[in-house]
Amino acid sequence: MTRRRWIADEVVGNTAALLGDHALHLSRVLRARVGQEFDISIAADGHSEIRRGTITAISDHRVEFALGNQIDKSSDSISQITLLLAIFKFDRMEWAIEKCTEIGVGRIIPLIARRSDAHLVAASAKRVERWQRIAREAAEQSRRAAPPEIMLPVKLRDLDQALPTASTIRVVLAETPAESQEARLTEVLQSSSTGEAALAIGPEGGWTEDELTWFREAGWIAASLGPTILRAETAAIVASALAIDALS
């Protein structure tokens, strides 16, 4: 039977701990006991390792593990796919975050777009902690070594400061007829020599013309996922899967 994997909240030497609700789920819901063994993921500096962890102390708000040998001798690199999600309905956005985490996205940036609902934008900063928890749980369920980084919402004009290195290929997914005829996402990514990509997914209703102009002038490549119009959450999942496959 495959051991359950947990992503440590705290690591000091050869001791790791789960904290807060993370610990509560293990202690109360799963009824863990001292002496039980689990796989513990420890992430740092863009890499991670999985070690055997034995519970040494347990309470509702803290579970401590003694760390043993490394299970996987090769450290896992965190994916270099950055997903920019224009803010849309939270239930669908949370579903997209969960599924894109399972696929292997490395970073998710909520983006404040012109057509993002104003009430959702106002509430978005307070949702980041929840989105981080959803991503962590999805990462543990899918046995990823680390969850994606979930950043604070940003406006389009501040986007460059939030993105990774300049070598990252930057693609805006567009569904307007003029843009969608330019290239398919897989064609754009396969022609790239870098293993890093940033993918921008628009809100319900799509990007405005001035936003598409901003992307073009900032050096982003417009691409399409095909002839049909996808919901934002579907586009996020399809684009992420294609990008990881093309750049792996």
The whole-model pTM stands at 0.85
pLDDT tens digit at each of 248 positions of the chain: 567 889 999 999 899 999 998 999 898 888 999 999 999 998 766 567 889 999 999 999 999 999 998 876 444 555 789 999 999 999 999 999 999 999 999 999 999 999 999 999 999 999 999 999 999 999 998 888 889 999 999 998 888 777 766 668 899 998 765 544 568 898 888 877 677 899 999 998 899 999 999 999 999 999 999 888 899 999 999 999 999 888 87
Q: Could you tell me if 60 and 24 are in contact, meaning their C-beta atoms sit under 8 angstroms apart?
A: yes
Taking alpha carbons only, the member of 125, 106, 214, 213 closest to residue 163 is 106
CB-based contact 142:30 (threshold 8 Å): no
Torsion of CA 93, 110, 238, 92, to 10 degrees: 10
CA–CA separation, 236 and 185 (whole Å) = 12
Kind plus residue range of the DSSP H or E element containing 23 = helix 20-24
Which structural domains are found in the chain, ordered by start?
5-76 (2.40.240.20), 81-247 (3.40.1280.10)
Give the pair of three-digit tokens for residue 134. 């959803």
| pLDDT given for residue 118 in this prediction | 94
Q: What is the Cα–Cα distance from 116 to 57, expressed in whole angstroms?
A: 46
Could you tell me the two tokens for 57? Answer: 């102390």
**DSSP-derived pairing of the beta strands 10-12 and 15-19:** antiparallel
pLDDT at 143: 87
Residue with the two structure tokens 């359950």: 4
**Distance between CA 232 and CA 12 in Å, rounded?**
40
> How far is it, in rounded angstroms, from Cα 53 to Cα 70?
10
Distance in angstroms (rounded) separating the CA atoms of residues 169 and 160 = 13
Task: Count Cβ atoms within 10 A of the Cβ of residue 145 and give its class: 0-12 exposed, 13-18 middle, 19 or more buried.
Answer: buried
13 by DSSP, 3-state: which? coil
The residues facing 221 across adjacent strands are: 171
Encoded amino acid at 40, one letter: I
